[in-house]
Amino acid sequence: MPEQKIIIDTDPGQDDAVAILLALASPDEIEVLGITAVAGNVPLTLTERNARMVCELAGRTDIRVFAGCDRPLGRALVTAEHVHGKSGLYGPTLPEPTMPLQEQHGVDFIVDTLRREPAGSVTLCPLGPLTNIATAMQQAPDIIPRIRQIVLMGGAYFQVGNITPAAEFNIHVDPQAAAIVFGAGAPLVVMPLDVTHKALVTAARNDAFRALGTPVGIAVAQMTEFFERFDKEKYGSEGAPLHDPCVTAWLIRPELFSGRRVNVEIETESELTMGMTVADWWGVTKRAPNALFMGDIDADGFFALLTERLARL
């Protein structure tokens, strides 16, 4: 029996794709109950399509994929084609998906699943803007105490921002949703840029994916190679950060990460710092901790895990 039942809420995105593949490659630890797509890196019609493509790449046409919200709660959608390509999944040439999109709305799926499964048994794994999760919480507050935990990629403290000087993309796109999720009281584990900027796809790590010689290994190498072009230039580092797989890696090997339980508040007013995650890392306020905010990663261990698991697909 897998230890954790999860819903992946996502806006694929190459790094989202790798996060999904890691989860699907780890059935001993993780059971994926469903995937809900959200607008983020690219519009919803593409993120739901990309999620299905990734399931098909993994040979898992049995995974149910749902389309959720097509725009943030209170703002116009900001996308990131400049990072991920026009489709969101540039790099490999993957066939158009043939597995169907589920008819049910992604938010309804989240609500129904949390109500149906035993309380405290389902983990939510958001890899994009938090619109679907916040909408589910608003529509059905009774689900909040039933959530086992929320493990998300988003925010930053020491690394501050990537889409603006002050904010990380997922939180910036829908800060109102982020404020709802961070204020909900559900157990929260956050993988911010402080961690993901240490998870760099160096040439050697990319070669290891390609050397698997499988369709999955080659596609992952092509995906990471694609967004590296943009990120390496931006950061001047030896490789691009692989953000979202930190979430699914934590479910499998939490000891690869370390962090602190701190208070995190979301900026929702100032245009200048919109979506900033104000993390009380140094404990300078009396605000109660609401998140386990990660700060460090064993990057070699993380890439070893990824390569070993992707080889299973």
In the region spanning residues 204 to 243, those forming contacts with ligand BDR, defined by CB under 6 A, are 243
Cβ atoms 313, 58 nearer than 8 A: yes
CB of 29 to ligand BDR, least distance (A): 21
CB of 20 to ligand BDR, least distance (A): 11
Residues 6+ apart with CB under 8 A from 280: 262, 263, 264, 287
Q: Which stretch binds Ca ion (CB under 5 A): 15-23, 93-101, 258-266, 298-306?
A: 15-23
Closer by beta carbon to ligand BDR, 108 or else 267? 267
Q: Which of 8, 9, 13, 133 binds ligand BDR (CB under 6 A)?
A: 13
Cβ atoms 192, 217 nearer than 8 A: no
Q: Which of 5, 13, 91, 182 binds Ca ion (CB under 5 A)?
A: 13
DSSP string for 36-65: EE-SSSS-HHHHHHHHHHHHHHTT-TTS-E
Residue type for position 158: F
Q: Which stretch binds ligand BDR (CB under 6 A): 54-62, 166-174, 198-206, 291-299?
A: 166-174
User: Which of 247, 4, 250 lies closest to 118 in space, CA to CA?
Assistant: 4
Active site residue 172: no
Closer by beta carbon to Ca ion, 50 or else 206? 50
Sheet architecture: strand order including 30-37: 65-67, 30-37, 4-10, 122-126, 147-153, 188-191, 291-297, 257-262
Binding residues with ligand BDR: total (CB under 6 A)? 15
Q: Which stretch binds ligand BDR (CB under 6 A): 13-21, 25-33, 209-217, 301-309?
A: 13-21
16 near Ca ion, rule: CB under 5 A:
yes
Q: Is 140 exposed, middle or buried (0-12, 13-18, 19+ CB in 10 A)?
A: middle
CB of 61 to ligand BDR, least distance (A): 23
Task: Compute the residue count for the chain.
Answer: 313
128 near Ca ion, rule: CB under 5 A:
yes
Place of tokens 């499964």: 117
Closer by beta carbon to Ca ion, 239 or else 245? 245
146 near ligand BDR, rule: CB under 6 A:
no
Antiparallel, parallel or unpaired: β 4-10 and 122-126: parallel
In the region spanning residues 21 to 50, those forming contacts with ligand BDR, defined by CB under 6 A, are 41
Instruction: List the single partner that 239 binds among ligand BDR, Ca ion, none, CB under 5 to 8 Å by kind.
Output: none
127 near ligand BDR, rule: CB under 6 A:
yes
- CA torsion, ordered 182, 171, 237, 234, to nearest 10 deg: -160
Q: Give yes or no for a cis peptide into 91 (omega within 30° of 0).
A: no
Closer by beta carbon to ligand BDR, 16 or else 108? 16
155 near Ca ion, rule: CB under 5 A:
no
79 near ligand BDR, rule: CB under 6 A:
no
- Give the relative orientation of helices 106-116 and 131-139 as an angle to the nearest 10 degrees: 60
Antiparallel, parallel or unpaired: β 122-126 and 200-201: unpaired
Which are the catalytic amino acids? 243
Where does this chain bind ligand BDR (CB under 6 A)? 13, 15-16, 41, 80, 83, 127-128, 153, 162, 168-170, 243-244
